[in-house]
Structure formats: C-alpha cells, structure tokens
Amino acid sequence: MMKYADVKEVFAEIPDEITLAISVTGCPVRCPGCHSQYLWADTGQDLAPDALAQLVRDHRGITCLCLMGGDQDPQGVSQLLQAVRTQFPRLHTAWYSGRGELPHGIILANFDYIKLGPWQEECGPLNQPTTNQRLYRIQADGQMLDITHRFWKKTL
C-alpha cells in the first residue's frame, strides 16, 4: 500500500487549479539533487481510498487532487484516482511522476493531468523552457497535450 507524508493546498503545480498536493513516500526514482529526499523512505500514513476521500472532504474549495509521486506503484496511483473520479466527479485529478515515460497499463481516463520526467538540475524546473519535465493535459480523446509552456513567464 502507498503511504504519504504531507498534504498541501497549492496554486502553482497545475495551471488554473486549486490543487490538493499529496506527497507520496517510497520514491524509487531518487533523482540526484532531489529537493524532497524525505520522500524516498517508505514512511507515513497509509493512502487508502477511504483516507484519500476524507482528505478531499477536509479541503473544501479545491479543484484538483494531485498525487506527487507513487512511482513504485503506477497502477495503484491510477486505481486511487479512478476511485476519486467516481466519488468526486467534478474534481480534476493529476499525477506528478518522476518517470521518463508513461508506464504500461495506465488508464488515461483516470487523469486530467500527468507530469512526466525525473528532476535534472542542469535542465531546470517546469518554469524554465529548458526543462526536461513535461506536464500533459489529458484530452477527451485520450491524447496527451503538452501544456508545459503554461509555466513559462512571458516577458514584455
């Protein structure tokens, strides 16, 4: 079972969304230079469907739920977000993965957004045009639309 370390309401992870970001522990990716090394350990509270639903109910006003990690169990991430979509059909769902590619067996219909890519310090974060990481909006037809450019600031 997946576990989580913390929960935060954030405004910068998913464009135009008030996002409840849940930091999943047990990260197998372990990017060099990771700013969240505490998430490498398999510690924290169980992230069962009932617990996840209670977290959503406890954070009124959110428009999106994002699992930050979960790379040790991608199918589990997909199943959890499917349960969220069933119970809270108006809530958008997102997954921040450190994987370079979408794992096999992931059901895109369970997601509105997926971020892929390990942290590579030389490439910079999502708000830099040089980033290797990509945020995708999942379209109704199942296509993944790259919206990473939404993080890049335009200069006048």
In DSSP terms, 94 is beta-bridged to: 66, 113
Q: Please list, residue by residue across 75-104, b when 16 or more beta carbons sit within 10 angstroms of its beta carbon and e when fewer do.
A: eebbebbbbbbeebeebbbbbbbbbeebee
In DSSP terms, 95 is beta-bridged to: 67, 114
Phi, psi of 60 (to 5 degrees): -60, 145
The pLDDT tens digits of the residues spanning 34-83 come to 889 999 999 999 999 999 999 999 999 999 999 999 999 999 999 999 99
Q: How many CA atoms lie within 13 A of 21 on its CB side?
A: 14
Instruction: Pick the closest to residue 119 from 130, 106, 138, 132 (CA basis).
Output: 132
Joined tokens for residue 82: 């499917």
What would the DSSP string read from start to end of 45-81?
A: EE--HHHHHHHHHHSTT--EEEEE--TT-HHHHHHHH
pLDDT-derived band at 32, boundaries 50, 70, 90: confident
> What pLDDT is stored for residue 155 in this prediction?
56
pLDDT-derived band at 1, boundaries 50, 70, 90: confident
Q: The whole model's pTM is what? A: 0.95
The pLDDT tens digits of the residues spanning 108-140 come to 999 999 999 999 999 999 999 999 999 999 999
Q: Which fold has domain 3-151?
A: TIM Barrel (3.20.20)
> What pLDDT is stored for residue 105 in this prediction?
83
pLDDT at residue 93 greater than cutoff 70: yes
78 SS3 class: helix
The amino acid occupying position 70 is G
Joined tokens for residue 101: 């590619």
Joined tokens for residue 94: 């997102």
